[in-house]
Every structure is written in C-alpha cells, then in structure tokens.
Structure 1
Amino acid sequence: MDDRLSCIGRGARRRHMGRSQPSEWRSGGAHHLGRATDRPDRRDDLLPNQPGDEHLPARDDARRLGRDHDRHAERHPHRHSPQFGGSIAVYVQSKGYNRSFVFYRTDAMLYGALAMLAYASTGDLDRGNLRAAQRGDINSGNAYTLTFKKLAGITAFNKNSAVVQAITGFVPGLGLNPAQGHYKNCCVNVGDLDMVVEASVGSGAFIDEIHVGDWIVAQTQESMLSALANNPRIPYTNPGAGILTNAVDTFMQRGVAAGVVATDLPADGEEFVSEYQIRVDLVENIPASQRCNRIAPDIRVDFRYAGAFHYGSASIIMRF
C-alpha cells in the first residue's frame, strides 16, 4: 500500500480586547503566539484543489478539516503543490507553520492526525490544583506531551529507525534537526508499546508548546479585560497598574496549577518555587503622551515553561 500523509492545519487569529495591545509569547525567540503567524487557514492553500476536487469553504472546524485532509491524501498520496514543488510535509516545514502538523502513515484507514488532535483536546488546562502544584505534584493539572502516547485506533507501522528519523527529524541525544527529517509525526512500536513520535509542528515546536502559549495569551487578555470591565474605572496610578498586574498574576497562578509553569525546589530551599516573574514600570516613568492616551504600562511576564522530557540516557559504570 502507498505511503500516505495526513495533515491538520488551523490559522492563527489575532485577538484585540478593549484597547489593549495583542499579547505576544516567545519560546526560544523562535515561536510567536498571539499574532497571526500561520497563513493561510484554508485547506486549498495546504493541499491545492485540482480539477475534480470538491471545494471546501474556509472553516475553523478541526474535525471537518481533518477528515477532508485525510480524504484528500487518500486520493492523492503523492500530491505535489504546483506552486511549491514539494510534498505537503516539506511545504509545512518550509513555511515554519506553528499550527499545522503532518502525520505519516502507511494505512489509509488510520487517521493519525485527527487522533493526535483529539488527544490534545482533552488537555483542559483550566483544571488544576494550585496547592498540589506548590507541593511539587507533577500531575496537579492537565499539562501533557503527545510524545509516547498511544492513540486510540492507531497502530504502529513497521519501519526501521533510519526511516523514522527521516520522517521526524529527531536525532537521539540531540533533538529535532531539519536536515535529518521533515518534522512529521508517526506511530512506532518501542518495547511492544505503540506510541507517537515526536509530536511536532512545521516550525519544529512541539504541539503542547503551541497549545500552552495560545492558552496563556488568550487567558491573560481575558483576565485584563475582566479587570477593566468590572471596575468603574482603573485609575492611571501605580495602585491602578497594580490592579492590572494582579489580574495577570492571578492567571499565572492558574498556569502553575495546570503544571505548565515550572515549579522547582531550589538547591538550598525547602519550598517549591514557581518560576515566573512579573514586572511593570512606575507610571511616573511613562511618557506623558502615553498617559494622555490612557495606554497602561506594559506588564512584562517572564516564565519558564515546564515542558517535558522526550529523551533520556544513563551512564552506568560496573566496578570489580
């Protein structure tokens, strides 16, 4: 049977709430969330329509989009874009898409991309236990990684490690390398366990990173909007800036509870510490023109993402 590709893609949308500026989140200076980074969000821009193909209107509907991507791949397993000249996997990688990912399969009846999206959708980051997180419980919330996960109804294909590396671009001990593969995902069998590798998107970021970044941007905006909307006014004073800062801090605590903000035990400490900082300038230092236009000081949040281990090794010495 021909090898096939399935792809899920969704365009990012910029959100504006009130008069505040769009939030921005960075990971390693490479991935920007809260801005329209993935363009376009129509299926025919990822898998171009050809004569005889039905037209699919642009919709932000993951299930419909997933079915039609897989169905399209079944009809055209080796489709090349006439504008690009490469496979869909190479195209998504070359564009560095943050919200599009490709799943490699050899069985036309296995919808791995949709199964991955379904699993990620169960990660409700709004549910978490702050006290458990502050005690160091790594399962205080629903933070996750798709790597190593068994997907319902998806079985592993029979390919050797060299082929898997060419598919995913993952080099043991080094990580993802675009020179080694196309950042595709697949299901492999390791130790008699079927599991996903490497759960990455076209840019090389991991799917959970994008999920967490979007969640933090959206929820931070909503927290600030709530503070602005539920007060008669927030004065342009340092205490007023503190109200907005507290709104951000309240949400970051939810990030700690969810398990996405790193919480570690310092080498010389007895209590777990949440790895985030919030800074805001004094209103006296804000230019008069900005104060006149009622633009609040920028609230800067610096946090360490808890992430996940995807590779481990141990050095063992036997002595006699």
Structure 2
Amino acid sequence: MKKLTLSIKEVEKMPIRDVTVTIDLQRPAGLIGFGKPLILGQKAGGAPYKEYSDLESLSADFGPSTEVYKLAAALKGQGQNSPAVFAVVAYDTNGGDPVSSLQSVWEKDWYFLLSTESDVTVIKSLADFVEGKGFKLFATRVGDEADLAVLKAQDYDRTFIIYHSDPAELAKYPDAAWVGARGSQPVGSVTWKFAQLIGITADDIGLSTVQSVNSAGGNVYVMRGGQPRTGEGIVVSGEFIDVIMAKDWVQVNIENAIQTLLNNSPKVPYTNSGIAQLEAATINVLRAGFNQGIIAEDGDGLPLYSTDFPTREETNPADRAARKYTGATFTFELAGAIHEARIHGTITV
C-alpha cells in the first residue's frame, strides 16, 4: 500500500497564503472541488477567460464548427458525470502564444487543462508549464507512438495521455471525454481505469501495441470483456492519476482548513491548545478524505492516518518569537483501487 507523508509549515513573506502543505510520496519496499476543466483553444483576436454551464451558451462565442466547441461537446457528452461548469480561454490564431495564455489564467479556479492543440511541440510546452507549477493536471491525446516517446522522455507527473490509432476518433477529443467521465466525481471515489467514453469508439489495436503504449506512459481505449473501457489511468511517469489527485486534494484542503482557522479566529495562541486547533483542522480533512475513499482502513474499519504536531515545548524558541509553527507531519495510506484480479479455482471430480 502506498503511504503519503506530509508536513505543514507556516512561511514568511506570503501575504496571500500563510499555510503551506508539502507532500512527499513514499512507496513501501518490494473539500475543494477538482472537477472544473479549462479548455485552451484558438480564436481570431483571442478570447478572455470565461465560464460556461452548457453548449448553448458556449455557441455564442465559439460556434459548433470550432474545435473549442467540439472539445466541449465531448466533455459535456458524458451523461450525469459531466462537469457542471467548464472554462474557456483562447489565444490569437495570428501569432498567439498558448503558454502565455495559460499562464495568464493559472490562478483561476480550474483543475484540468484540455487543449485543442495536437502538435506535440505545443503539447510538450504546455506539459512543461503545468509540471513546473506542481499542481493541476493536463489531459491530452496522441495518435503516434513517436509523440508518446517525446513526452515520456520528460516523465511528467501532471500530464496524462490517451492514445488512439484512428485520427477520426482523436478528432472527437477522447481526452476531453475521459475528463468528462471521471474528473467531476469526488476525489477518491473512482479510478480512471475502466471508464466508458460516450461518443468514442474503442481502438482496434493488438496487445503488443497496448503494452507499448502503457510502457510509454500512455493510456488506451479498447474493448475489455466485450465493453469499451479506458486503460490503466496513469500519468506519463507511470503514477496513477487518482494518486496525484489525492495528493492535491489533501494538500489544498488542509491549507484551506488551517487558513480558515487563522482567518476566523481572533488569535490562535502559540500554546498547546492553539496547536491542538491546527491538528484538529488537519484531522477533519483526513477524516473527510477517508469518507471519500482516498484513505485506506485497517482490519477494524478504522482510517489509516496519523498526525504528529510538536508541542510548544518541542518547538524552536526562534520560531515562537517569529510566530512560525513548523515540524507538524501527518501520514496516511492510500486506499487505491483494484485494477486486476487473479483467482485460482480447483475442480474435484
């Protein structure tokens, strides 16, 4: 089982955010919504960031013949799992820069990046930017294993790719369909494998190609047990998408919980009782993570997490004088998901 070890520290010179959560993913030997996608597209003259709830409202700015509309149609066409709201920003078709456009809206409230771009050079530049930020996820699509190799060389943790050998199916934006099918569901409640993509036809490729794509950090959409389903649900580095999302969910929600405590309290004293308030806020998020399926349980059904918040006496006097509390940690085990099963049976006669 995977274990996440995390630390909390209050940092100086950060007037907007006073709480930082750092997460390191450790492998054993041998309430923030994450569902809103951002569509990055092109338009003559560009288009500012705007949020939409349906295709009808989008059509006033991007008609049905545009790539932005087609991508949004795949996103919104996934039935009850489709996101309630999505955002769009477009850069100028005449010399606009997709990365600059993305940078200008990075702080907006969205989590999944989707792009109408198919050129691997542009895809790589967007993936580089997202990776450098260390937050949010970029979903994209390729139809050439050589393009997969270009991206695999970077070993991205925050980019996931769906491969399809049919250009006509790629033009239907299977990456957007995948985000529409899985991205808006509560973090921890679903795995990204086994998703059915409405409007996308399964790829007709052999096992050797499936294995090659998986080895290159890509995902396929093929028939599994007679039904079309997505592949492993991994980012380019090979980590599972839901693991990256779990890490982000815990980090952001604990930061917000403690920031809310600091904002709404006349004072959180630098005493053991004040420290206990910080720990309680952290535990509340971990409990919520357990209830959502992020955190595993032991044999008695109890959540597998722990916290360690140093007492006032255990803190550095210099930190106390500077009103900084450091050294707090918490650990939890990921619930994960079953992607394969091997069952042995015996017949007696």
Q: Distance in 2 between matches of 1:120 and 1:197?
A: 13
Q: Is the 8 A contact 1:219 1:251 kept in 2?
A: yes
Question: Which residue is equivalent to 2:182?
Answer: 120
For 1:95, what is the secondary structure of its paired residue? Answer: coil
Counterpart amino acid of residue 208 in structure 2:
A
Work out which of the residue numbers 100, 103, 120 in structure 1 matches 2:159. 100
Q: Is the 8 A contact 2:178 2:195 kept in 1?
A: no
Q: Is the 8 A contact 1:23 1:221 kept in 2?
A: yes
Work out which of the residue numbers 286, 292, 296 in structure 2 matches 1:262. 296
Tell me whether 1:19 sits opposite 2:18 in the alignment: yes
Question: Which residue is equivalent to 1:300?
Answer: 329
Counterpart amino acid of residue 146 in structure 1:
W
CA distance 1:283–1:80, change in 2 (3 Å): closer
Question: Which residue is equivalent to 1:164?
Answer: 210
Q: Is the 8 A contact 2:124 2:151 kept in 1?
A: no
Give the C-alpha shift of residue 311 in structure 1. 1.1
Give the C-alpha shift of residue 80 in structure 1. 10
Number of aligned positions between the proteins:
245
Work out which of the residue numbers 143, 153, 156 in structure 1 matches 2:189. 143
In structure 2, stretches of 5+ residues that fail to align are: 1-10, 29-39, 42-93, 126-144
For 2:222, what is the secondary structure of its paired residue? Answer: strand
Q: Distance in 2 between matches of 1:63 and 1:247?
A: 24
Counterpart amino acid of residue 198 in structure 2:
A
Tell me whether 1:66 sits opposite 2:114 in the alignment: yes
CA distance 1:314–1:29, change in 2 (3 Å): closer
Q: Is the 8 A contact 1:80 1:87 kept in 2?
A: no
Give the C-alpha shift of residue 106 in structure 1. 2.0
For 2:265, what is the secondary structure of its paired residue? Answer: coil
Give the C-alpha shift of residue 154 in structure 1. 1.5
CA distance 1:319–1:24, change in 2 (3 Å): same
Cα deviations across residues 147-200 of structure 1 (Å, max 9, x unaligned)? 0111111121111111100111xxxxxxxxxxxx20101101022100000111
Question: Which residue is equivalent to 1:216?
Answer: 250
Give the C-alpha shift of residue 206 in structure 1. 1.0
Question: TM-score, normalised to structure 1's length?
Answer: 0.68
CA distance 1:316–1:283, change in 2 (3 Å): same
CA distance 1:152–1:201, change in 2 (3 Å): same
Cα RMSD over matched residues? 3.1
Q: Distance in 2 between matches of 1:302 and 1:200?
A: 23
Give the C-alpha shift of residue 301 in structure 1. 0.9
For 1:274, what is the secondary structure of its paired residue? Answer: coil
Give the C-alpha shift of residue 202 in structure 1. 1.3
Give the C-alpha shift of residue 29 in structure 1. 5.3
Q: Quick check: which one's strand share is greater? A: 2
Q: Distance in 2 between matches of 1:255 and 1:249?
A: 10
Cα deviations across residues 115-165 of structure 1 (Å, max 9, x unaligned)? 22222321134xxxxxxxxxxxxxxxx611110111111121111111100
